[in-house]
Amino acid sequence: MKNIKKVIIIIILNILLILQTNIFAYEIEEETDYIWLQQEIENVSANPISEPNLNSRYAIVLDRDSKAVLYGKDENKRVPMASTTKIMTAIVLLENLGLNNNLTLDTQVEVCKEAGAIGGSRLGLKTGDKVTVNNLLYGLMLCSGNDAAIQIAVSIGGSVEGFANLMNKKAQDLGLENTHFVTPHGLDEPEHYTTAYELALIADYALNNEKIAEVVKTKTYTVTINGYSKAINNTNELLGYLNGVNGVKTGFTNGAGRCLVTSVNRNGFNIITVVLGADTKRFRTKDSISLIEYTYSNYELVNLEEIINKKFNEWRKNNENRINVYKGKNDNVKIKLENYNHKIYPIKKDNIKDINVEIKDIQMNFEAPVNTNTKVGKLVLKVCNKEIMDIEILTNKNIGRKNIKNYILECLGNIMT
């Protein structure tokens, strides 16, 4: 009798543990109030803000083209990121298909026990189910399936631990110093973390993959499990409702709070916003809308190339012929600017008038030989005294050193004249 009671107690405790885990540790998306959402979008659009006031503890707006941070709130602090982890899971999946395995997107895999048993947000897989890798990817990114994440990890990395190693290797390759992965789904673990800034970089990298970009902008999709069709919906509440939104991923755990990574493109102005640690789904939604509308209301893409070239050509016209090359076969130095990226740059509208270009640290005298691309000085572009670009000024061709023959010909030329 005592043994039976012990067994019953153990069973009850295990059930309670499972329930507690499912309630507090996993992402379970609540329904979106789309009437409220539409009203919030209209309210923010009609009343542009000069500075966001966020509930989210960590946030960022990243310009995708220049990688400039347009807004930040504790964006470099290490924090848990819940299911936004799955952005990296998708990257590692697609970049490792066919490497040391025979998998393609069309390959059908059998669902393992670990994937079939996990709780929280799910695609709905059971142990032994047959499903393609492509359907796992959609289940991962649309309905945030933890079961899909586990199966991807096992299929690609051999185990959750093996897949986490691949995730961390990719983070290293991307130069992320404050990101570390333990799982493919993002459930709370002490050593599973990133920052709002580095998560934005991960999302930016992911969107360069055409398949990921296609998946995350999909509102609904029909997967096939064991030959049966099942419709799934994207948990990203802004997709299809806010102008320009084309991804990326939601997230929630007790430790991470409500999280949302959003990509937006309006007339070629591409940004990524990240909010982490919001108290409720409404707060994460409202904060994301605020960041997006704040950015497009307050920033403008400026053609810096025109400004830079105008200043450089004016300076070159007045100063190029003053650069001397001692003992050079040719003292006619030609200069150029090094190639530079981000010729179109987002600048606050109020600050456009404060764009300033300086030519500095110029070396006017050289001794031959002088090679092509020898540094002459630099051009610095500032906005409100903050340096935005530092572009080297370089020589445009080789200038060799004079030899005896050159000196003789030079003397003869002087005599003849």
Q: Do residues 39 and 260 make contact, with C-beta atoms less than 8 angstroms apart?
A: no
Alpha-helical (H) ranges within 97-195 are 113-117, 133-141, 146-157, 160-173
The neighbour count for residue 414, using CB atoms within 10 Å, is 8
Q: Greatest CA span in the chain, whole angstroms?
A: 124
Residues ≥6 apart with Cβ < 8 Å to 136 = 93, 109, 123, 145, 148, 151, 152, 155
Helix axes 133-141 and 86-96, enclosed angle (nearest 10): 160
CA distance 258 to 349: 32
Distance CA(158)–CA(397), nearest Å, equals: 55
Q: How many CB atoms lie within 10 A of CB 93?
A: 28
Which among 56, 66, 73, 83 is annotated as catalytic?
83
Angle between helical axes of 146-157 and 86-96 (0-180°, round to 10):
30
Write down the catalytic residue from 56, 66, 121, 144: 144
Q: Which of 56, 73, 86, 263 is catalytic?
A: 86
Find all residues with CB under 8 Å of 35, minimum gap 6, and list them: none
Q: Is 144 noted as a catalytic residue in this protein?
A: yes
Catalytic, 45? Answer: no
Q: Is the separation of the CB atoms in 61 and 295 below 8 Å?
A: yes
Please give the positions annotated as active site.
Answer: 83, 86, 144
